[in-house]
Chains A and B, each alone.
Chain A
């Protein structure tokens, strides 16, 4: 199926910028996908994932809008002072309004990686027009088994280091990272600014597990379709949740919640074979939830 793309500018003062990717014969019967920013990466996505995913989904018959949330990529910042999460939801609602007005689409699937997954979940919780959410490396909580494994690993590493003479030499001479960090805390040595300054990681705002669990269960009861995809790092947490009580996503909520672990893949899907596995997982899920009717298939 051929695919076409158009630039979209929408929201208050046309401040949001995105690209609509759609089949040659779009249909308002199937939900449209909204692809949300991953961290501060603009709408193209890490390793151009969002562009390729949008084109694959459109080739399968779905309309897709990948756009920059306010203040990211080419979208202007908001000037209404809304708190962070509310502003993200407000932007996504503007995107849905835009697709409703221009294409008559009333149902949506939110999709995102990392902070995009966080926004997708919150959007599904907030707006009933969102009937599905695909979240890549979104919410994950360490289970008791996972914590035990981590503790054992750390103890093994520590024991290994204590028996390693060069580590002692670095500690004595102050070259060991732990000693450098200690010296910085005491105000000794380099202040840690400039090109070698420590990097502050971008992390998502994780709600308490009880809240995320309750909301997942409620969404599932509401019929919202949820797909949790985990790459190598986070799938470990999921797989070690042998006890259903500390598992996330919660078990026993029926077919509305699906989990796919792409073990081996890194957070930004650097390898092309991992990108392919991601696209296949998303396409399979989307086609199963919202299959093409005979009319769509014919077009």
Chain B
């Protein structure tokens, strides 16, 4: 495991390269993390996933978007375009460091959404794993706002505060970013460069059934798998005994290594 920085010197991106234990697998894998309060709980499962994939022969790169985690960059300047750029940079970095021509993407929650957008228009990827993706940005923001308001009014018993003043679930969310996220709908993606797509869900949510149908029409070979485990991106997972969904991790490794 090699932690390092890559990208521009003005705002370096923190990454961790997991070199392959053997050279048996085809290509490498970039892990696209969730964002905001869903990022922290996904660190541990992503580390385990990276270790298992490296053991299966893949060079793996996990990273933090600019302005998040250990990366540099202004968190107030976050944008969907910048997050997508970071994934593209991570793909190129893995191609260079891992000396691989093909790269697969594994994304969790909004990281999965970003990975799908990148695979649709920005870079050609081999396989795409969408782990509990956010299908419609507007619905997700609405959930976050509800969770935030519940904390403020019912737990802290405070008067509602503005997003500008107090952020959204712990993080700044500028109106521009809010608009960008709200406009996203994976059901509107018209093309995917990935040869294969795995839609992995740990809880059934509105929109997944339609997304399955939609992905199936895009020409990629789509597999859908439901593994019922506690949603690991929720903050309460951090304080519970459900630390790593090993079934999900195992399934992703098995699917990526299958021909």
List the interface of chain A (C-beta within 8 A of B). Answer: 5, 7, 9, 17, 19, 39-44, 46-48, 51, 73-74, 194-195, 197, 199-202, 232, 264-266, 268-273, 275
Contact = CB atoms under 8 A, between A and B. Distances in A.
B54 to A, nearest CB: 14
A199 B40 contact: no
Main secondary structure of the interface of A (DSSP, over half): loop
Nearest to B236: A199
A48 B16 CA distance: 18
A51, A195, A271, A273 — most chain B CB neighbours (10 Å): A271
Nearest to B203: A195
A273 B40 contact: no
Interface of B: 1, 3-5, 14, 16, 37, 40, 43-44, 47, 64, 68-70, 72, 75, 148, 151-152, 155-156, 158, 161, 165-167, 169-172, 202-203, 228-231, 235-236, 238-243
A39 B239 contact: yes
A271 B166 contact: yes
A268 B3 contact: no
A74 B47 contact: yes
Contacts of A7: 3-5, 14
A44 B238 contact: no
B148, B152, B239 — most chain A CB neighbours (10 Å): B239
Contact of B37 (A39, A47, A202): A47
Contacts of A232: 156
A162 B129 CA distance: 51
A19 B239 contact: no
Contacts of B161: 271, 273
A199 B238 CA distance: 10
B166 A272 contact: yes
B156 A266 contact: yes
A51 B40 CA distance: 13
Given A39-B239, A42-B44, A47 B171 contact: yes
Contacts of A17: 3
B170 A47 contact: yes
A272 B238 contact: no
A41 B151 CA distance: 20
Given A9-B3, A40-B44, A201-B239, A48 B156 contact: no
Nearest to B240: A199
B169 A195 contact: no
Contact of B165 (A51, A194, A273): A273
Contacts of B202: 195
Contacts of A195: 202-203, 228-231
B178 to A, nearest CB: 15
A11 B13 CA distance: 25
A51 B166 contact: no
Nearest to B43: A42
A201 B16 CA distance: 30
Contact of B70 (A39, A40, A44, A197): A44
Nearest to A50: B70
Contacts of A266: 151, 155-156
Contacts of B171: 47-48
A74 B239 contact: no
A200 B69 CA distance: 26
A198 to B, nearest CB: 9
A250 B152 CA distance: 32
A46 B171 CA distance: 11
Contacts of B64: 44
Contact of A41 (B40, B68, B148, B172): B40
A48 B167 contact: no
Contact of A264 (B4, B14, B70, B158): B158
A74 B167 contact: no
Given A19-B70, A40-B238, A271-B161, A74 B16 contact: yes
Contacts of A273: 161, 165-166
Given A7-B5, A73-B44, A199-B239, 19 more contacts: A5-B72, A40-B44, A44-B64, A47-B170, A47-B171, A48-B69, A48-B75, A48-B170, A73-B47, A74-B1, A74-B16, A74-B47, A195-B202, A197-B242, A264-B158, A266-B156, A270-B151, A271-B167, A272-B167
Contact of A74 (B3, B72, B148, B170): B3
B155, B169, B240 — most chain A CB neighbours (10 Å): B240
Nearest to B165: A273
22 contacts: A9-B3, A41-B238, A42-B43, A42-B44, A44-B40, A44-B69, A48-B171, A74-B1, A74-B3, A74-B47, A195-B203, A195-B229, A195-B231, A199-B241, A200-B240, A264-B158, A271-B167, A271-B170, A272-B165, A272-B167, A273-B165, A275-B170
B106 to A, nearest CB: 18
B157 to A, nearest CB: 9
